[in-house]
Protein backbone atom coordinates (compact mmCIF):
# COMPACT_ATOMS: atom_id res chain seq x y z
CA UNK A 1 0.00 0.00 0.00
CA UNK A 2 1.25 3.44 -0.95
CA UNK A 3 2.50 5.20 2.24
CA UNK A 4 1.66 8.53 0.55
CA UNK A 5 -1.79 8.07 2.09
CA UNK A 6 -0.47 8.36 5.70
CA UNK A 7 -0.36 12.19 5.95
CA UNK A 8 -3.92 12.64 4.65
CA UNK A 9 -5.59 10.12 6.98
CA UNK A 10 -7.52 11.20 10.10
CA UNK A 11 -8.30 8.87 12.98
CA UNK A 12 -11.95 7.78 12.72
CA UNK A 13 -12.28 7.83 16.51
CA UNK A 14 -10.36 10.89 17.81
CA UNK A 15 -9.94 12.74 14.47
CA UNK A 16 -6.17 13.15 15.03
CA UNK A 17 -4.40 14.02 11.79
CA UNK A 18 -1.89 11.58 10.27
CA UNK A 19 -2.55 9.13 13.16
CA UNK A 20 -0.62 6.10 11.87
CA UNK A 21 3.14 5.64 11.47
CA UNK A 22 2.76 2.73 9.08
CA UNK A 23 0.05 0.68 7.38
CA UNK A 24 1.28 -2.78 8.38
CA UNK A 25 0.23 -2.50 12.02
CA UNK A 26 -1.59 0.83 12.23
CA UNK A 27 -2.11 2.26 15.71
CA UNK A 28 -3.36 5.80 16.32
CA UNK A 29 -0.58 7.74 18.06
CA UNK A 30 -3.18 9.88 19.78
CA UNK A 31 -5.98 7.54 21.04
CA UNK A 32 -4.46 4.08 20.50
CA UNK A 33 -7.12 2.87 18.03
CA UNK A 34 -5.90 -0.22 16.15
CA UNK A 35 -7.97 -0.67 13.01
CA UNK A 36 -8.61 -4.30 12.10
CA UNK A 37 -9.15 -5.01 8.43
CA UNK A 38 -10.83 -8.06 6.91
CA UNK A 39 -8.45 -7.86 3.92
CA UNK A 40 -4.72 -7.10 4.09
CA UNK A 41 -5.08 -4.78 1.09
CA UNK A 42 -7.80 -2.63 2.65
CA UNK A 43 -7.48 -0.18 5.57
CA UNK A 44 -10.66 -0.41 7.66
CA UNK A 45 -11.48 3.01 9.10
CA UNK A 46 -15.05 2.50 10.21
CA UNK A 47 -15.38 4.05 13.66
CA UNK A 48 -15.84 0.88 15.69
CA UNK A 49 -16.64 2.86 18.85
CA UNK A 50 -19.87 3.90 17.09
CA UNK A 51 -20.31 0.35 15.79
CA UNK A 52 -20.76 -1.22 12.39
CA UNK A 53 -23.12 0.80 10.20
CA UNK A 54 -26.59 -0.69 9.93
CA UNK A 55 -27.48 -1.71 6.40
CA UNK A 56 -31.07 -0.67 6.00
CA UNK A 57 -31.72 -0.64 2.26
CA UNK A 58 -32.21 -3.69 0.03
CA UNK A 59 -29.84 -2.18 -2.50
CA UNK A 60 -27.05 -1.86 0.06
CA UNK A 61 -27.59 -5.44 1.26
CA UNK A 62 -27.02 -6.52 -2.34
CA UNK A 63 -23.86 -4.38 -2.49
CA UNK A 64 -22.54 -6.45 0.42
CA UNK A 65 -22.93 -9.67 -1.58
CA UNK A 66 -19.82 -11.31 -3.03
CA UNK A 67 -21.70 -12.47 -6.11
CA UNK A 68 -23.08 -8.99 -6.89
CA UNK A 69 -19.64 -7.44 -6.34
CA UNK A 70 -18.10 -9.89 -8.84
CA UNK A 71 -20.71 -9.41 -11.58
CA UNK A 72 -21.33 -5.73 -10.85
CA UNK A 73 -19.34 -4.03 -13.64
CA UNK A 74 -20.25 -6.43 -16.40
CA UNK A 75 -23.87 -7.24 -15.74
CA UNK A 76 -25.39 -5.54 -12.70
CA UNK A 77 -24.51 -1.92 -13.39
CA UNK A 78 -25.43 -1.90 -17.10
CA UNK A 79 -28.79 -3.61 -16.44
CA UNK A 80 -29.63 -1.37 -13.48
CA UNK A 81 -28.71 1.85 -15.31
CA UNK A 82 -30.63 0.84 -18.40
CA UNK A 83 -33.70 0.02 -16.36
CA UNK A 84 -33.64 3.21 -14.27
CA UNK A 85 -32.23 5.75 -16.70
CA UNK A 86 -33.16 4.44 -20.15
CA UNK A 87 -31.40 3.09 -23.19
CA UNK A 88 -29.42 6.31 -23.94
CA UNK A 89 -27.85 6.29 -20.50
CA UNK A 90 -27.33 2.53 -20.71
CA UNK A 91 -25.05 2.88 -23.72
CA UNK A 92 -22.93 5.67 -22.30
CA UNK A 93 -23.13 5.04 -18.58
CA UNK A 94 -23.84 1.36 -18.04
CA UNK A 95 -21.18 0.49 -20.61
CA UNK A 96 -18.83 2.50 -18.39
CA UNK A 97 -16.51 3.79 -21.11
CA UNK A 98 -18.65 6.85 -21.92
CA UNK A 99 -19.13 7.73 -18.29
CA UNK A 100 -15.47 7.10 -17.46
CA UNK A 101 -14.50 9.50 -20.22
CA UNK A 102 -16.80 12.21 -18.85
CA UNK A 103 -15.57 11.72 -15.28
CA UNK A 104 -11.88 11.78 -16.24
CA UNK A 105 -12.41 14.88 -18.35
CA UNK A 106 -14.51 16.50 -15.58
CA UNK A 107 -11.80 15.95 -12.98
CA UNK A 108 -9.16 17.60 -15.24
CA UNK A 109 -6.75 14.80 -14.36
CA UNK A 110 -4.04 16.07 -16.67
CA UNK A 111 -3.92 19.55 -15.15
CA UNK A 112 -3.97 18.63 -11.46
CA UNK A 113 -1.69 16.77 -9.10
CA UNK A 114 -4.29 14.90 -7.01
CA UNK A 115 -4.51 13.03 -4.71
CA UNK A 116 -7.86 11.71 -6.00
CA UNK A 117 -10.64 10.15 -3.97
CA UNK A 118 -12.95 7.64 -5.66
CA UNK A 119 -15.82 7.86 -3.19
CA UNK A 120 -17.98 4.71 -3.05
CA UNK A 121 -15.63 3.02 -5.49
CA UNK A 122 -17.52 -0.29 -5.68
CA UNK A 123 -15.35 -2.91 -7.43
CA UNK A 124 -12.90 -0.22 -8.49
CA UNK A 125 -13.50 0.48 -12.20
CA UNK A 126 -13.16 4.24 -11.76
CA UNK A 127 -10.25 3.95 -9.31
CA UNK A 128 -8.38 1.87 -11.90
CA UNK A 129 -9.12 4.36 -14.66
CA UNK A 130 -7.95 7.27 -12.50
CA UNK A 131 -4.81 5.39 -11.45
CA UNK A 132 -3.94 4.60 -15.07
CA UNK A 133 -4.61 8.17 -16.22
CA UNK A 134 -2.64 9.76 -13.35
CA UNK A 135 0.15 7.24 -12.59
CA UNK A 136 2.14 9.74 -10.53
CA UNK A 137 -0.75 10.57 -8.20
CA UNK A 138 -2.28 8.77 -5.23
CA UNK A 139 -5.79 7.38 -5.82
CA UNK A 140 -7.83 6.42 -2.76
CA UNK A 141 -10.81 4.11 -3.39
CA UNK A 142 -13.30 4.20 -0.52
CA UNK A 143 -16.36 2.08 0.03
CA UNK A 144 -18.38 0.72 2.93
CA UNK A 145 -18.93 -2.74 1.45
CA UNK A 146 -16.34 -5.41 2.28
CA UNK A 147 -17.39 -7.48 -0.74
CA UNK A 148 -16.92 -4.55 -3.12
CA UNK A 149 -13.53 -3.74 -1.60
CA UNK A 150 -12.38 -7.36 -1.90
CA UNK A 151 -13.09 -7.29 -5.63
CA UNK A 152 -11.54 -3.81 -5.94
CA UNK A 153 -8.39 -5.12 -4.19
CA UNK A 154 -8.05 -7.95 -6.72
CA UNK A 155 -8.67 -5.66 -9.69
CA UNK A 156 -6.45 -2.77 -8.60
CA UNK A 157 -3.60 -5.07 -7.50
CA UNK A 158 -1.43 -3.99 -10.44
CA UNK A 159 -1.61 -0.28 -9.53
CA UNK A 160 0.90 0.76 -6.88
CA UNK A 161 -0.74 4.20 -6.56
CA UNK A 162 -4.15 2.88 -5.40
CA UNK A 163 -5.01 2.60 -1.70
CA UNK A 164 -8.34 1.10 -0.60
CA UNK A 165 -10.14 2.30 2.51
CA UNK A 166 -13.28 0.97 4.16
CA UNK A 167 -15.23 3.87 5.63
CA UNK A 168 -18.58 5.62 5.63
CA UNK A 169 -19.07 8.47 3.16
CA UNK A 170 -20.87 10.36 5.96
CA UNK A 171 -17.67 10.46 8.09
CA UNK A 172 -14.63 10.58 5.82
CA UNK A 173 -11.40 9.60 7.63
CA UNK A 174 -9.25 12.26 5.98
CA UNK A 175 -7.79 15.60 6.97
CA UNK A 176 -9.35 18.83 5.66
CA UNK A 177 -8.23 19.72 2.14
CA UNK A 178 -6.69 16.29 1.50
CA UNK A 179 -7.75 15.89 -2.15
CA UNK A 180 -7.46 17.69 -5.44
CA UNK A 181 -10.60 15.97 -6.71
CA UNK A 182 -13.39 13.65 -5.60
CA UNK A 183 -15.03 11.20 -7.99
CA UNK A 184 -18.43 9.93 -6.87
CA UNK A 185 -20.04 7.74 -9.51
CA UNK A 186 -23.49 6.26 -9.12
CA UNK A 187 -23.76 6.36 -5.35
CA UNK A 188 -25.63 9.51 -4.28
CA UNK A 189 -28.94 7.68 -4.43
CA UNK A 190 -27.58 5.13 -1.93
CA UNK A 191 -26.67 7.53 0.92
CA UNK A 192 -28.86 7.97 4.00
CA UNK A 193 -28.09 11.69 4.14
CA UNK A 194 -26.56 13.23 0.99
CA UNK A 195 -26.32 16.63 2.74
CA UNK A 196 -23.79 15.20 5.22
CA UNK A 197 -21.85 13.53 2.39
CA UNK A 198 -21.74 16.79 0.38
CA UNK A 199 -20.36 18.62 3.45
CA UNK A 200 -17.73 15.93 3.94
CA UNK A 201 -16.71 16.09 0.28
CA UNK A 202 -16.34 19.86 0.52
CA UNK A 203 -14.26 19.52 3.68
CA UNK A 204 -11.79 17.01 2.21
CA UNK A 205 -11.32 19.00 -1.01
CA UNK A 206 -8.64 21.60 -1.13
CA UNK A 207 -9.64 25.10 -2.39
CA UNK A 208 -10.06 24.85 -6.16
CA UNK A 209 -10.67 21.08 -5.91
CA UNK A 210 -13.28 19.46 -8.14
CA UNK A 211 -16.20 17.20 -7.23
CA UNK A 212 -17.58 15.07 -10.08
CA UNK A 213 -20.56 12.83 -9.45
CA UNK A 214 -23.16 10.89 -11.37
CA UNK A 215 -26.66 9.99 -10.30
CA UNK A 216 -30.21 9.43 -11.45
CA UNK A 217 -32.34 12.37 -12.53
CA UNK A 218 -35.81 11.79 -13.94
CA UNK A 219 -36.50 8.42 -15.58
CA UNK A 220 -37.43 8.85 -19.23
CA UNK A 221 -40.02 6.05 -19.18
CA UNK A 222 -42.96 5.20 -16.97
CA UNK A 223 -41.41 1.75 -16.44
CA UNK A 224 -38.17 3.37 -15.21
CA UNK A 225 -40.07 5.62 -12.80
CA UNK A 226 -42.06 2.70 -11.41
CA UNK A 227 -38.93 0.54 -11.08
CA UNK A 228 -37.13 3.34 -9.24
CA UNK A 229 -40.05 3.80 -6.89
CA UNK A 230 -40.27 0.06 -6.22
CA UNK A 231 -36.54 -0.15 -5.49
CA UNK A 232 -36.68 2.97 -3.26
CA UNK A 233 -34.13 4.79 -5.45
CA UNK A 234 -33.80 8.50 -4.71
CA UNK A 235 -33.70 10.75 -7.76
CA UNK A 236 -32.11 14.17 -7.99
CA UNK A 237 -33.73 17.06 -9.80
CA UNK A 238 -30.82 18.86 -11.53
CA UNK A 239 -32.12 22.35 -10.57
CA UNK A 240 -32.49 21.35 -6.93
CA UNK A 241 -29.09 19.62 -6.92
CA UNK A 242 -27.46 22.76 -8.28
CA UNK A 243 -29.11 24.94 -5.58
CA UNK A 244 -28.30 22.37 -2.86
CA UNK A 245 -24.60 22.17 -3.74
CA UNK A 246 -24.52 25.98 -4.00
CA UNK A 247 -25.91 26.35 -0.45
CA UNK A 248 -23.20 24.03 0.84
CA UNK A 249 -20.55 26.26 -0.68
CA UNK A 250 -19.70 24.69 -4.04
CA UNK A 251 -19.42 26.86 -7.16
CA UNK A 252 -19.53 26.54 -10.97
CA UNK A 253 -22.17 23.77 -11.22
CA UNK A 254 -22.25 22.08 -14.64
CA UNK A 255 -23.96 18.90 -15.75
CA UNK A 256 -24.29 16.54 -18.70
CA UNK A 257 -27.51 14.52 -19.11
CA UNK A 258 -27.41 10.96 -20.39
CA UNK A 259 -31.00 9.81 -20.69
CA UNK A 260 -32.29 9.75 -17.12
CA UNK A 261 -28.79 9.92 -15.63
CA UNK A 262 -26.69 12.98 -15.06
CA UNK A 263 -23.02 13.66 -14.44
CA UNK A 264 -22.34 16.91 -12.56
CA UNK A 265 -19.25 18.84 -11.63
CA UNK A 266 -18.72 21.56 -9.03
CA UNK A 267 -15.68 23.29 -7.60
CA UNK A 268 -14.74 24.17 -4.06
CA UNK A 269 -13.95 27.91 -4.25
Q: Is 45 in the site for ligand SAM (CB under 6 A)?
A: no
Q: Candidates 42-50, 83-91, 163-171, 234-242: pick the segment binding ligand SAM (CB under 6 A).
A: 163-171
Instruction: Give the DSSP letter of residue 9.
Output: B
Burial (Cβ within 10 Å: 0-12, 13-18, ≥19) of residue 22: exposed
- Closer residue to ligand SAM in complex, CB, 121/266: 121
Position 122 contacts ligand SAM (CB under 6 A): yes
The residue among 83, 78, 73, 157 whose CA lies nearest residue 122 is 73
Per the CB < 8 A criterion, the answer to whether 184 and 212 are in contact is yes
**Interface segment toward ligand SAM; rule CB under 6 A; list 15-23, 129-137, 181-189, 219-227:** 181-189
H, E, C per residue of 25-50: CCCCCCCCCCCCCCCCCEEECCCCCC
Contact flag: residue 186 with ligand SAM (CB under 6 A): yes
**Window of 20-28, 36-44, 102-110, 187-195 that interacts with ligand SAM by CB under 6 A:** 187-195
State the residue number with the nearest CB to ligand SAM. 122
Q: What angle do CA 172, 174, 179 make, to 5 degrees?
A: 105
Does 77 interact with ligand SAM (rule: CB under 6 A)? yes
Residue 175 contacts ligand SAM per CB under 6 A: no
Q: Answer yes or no whether residue 173 interacts with ligand SAM by CB under 6 A.
A: no
Which candidate, 43, 63, 58, places its Cα nearest to that of 145? 63
The rounded distance, in Å, linking the Cα atoms of 122 and 111 is 26
Contact with ligand SAM (CB under 6 A): which of 169, 204, 245, 266? 169
| Contacting positions for ligand SAM (CB under 6 A) | 60, 63, 77, 120-122, 125-126, 143-145, 148, 168-170, 185-187, 190-191
Amino acid sequence: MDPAVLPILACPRCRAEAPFKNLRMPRCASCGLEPVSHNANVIDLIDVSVGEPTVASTEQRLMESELVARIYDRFWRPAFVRMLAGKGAGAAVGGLSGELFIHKHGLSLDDRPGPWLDLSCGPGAFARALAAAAPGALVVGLDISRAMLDVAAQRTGGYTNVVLVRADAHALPFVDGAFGGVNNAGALHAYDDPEVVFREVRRVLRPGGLYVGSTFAEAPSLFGRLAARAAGIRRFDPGELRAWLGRIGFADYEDVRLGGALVFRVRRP
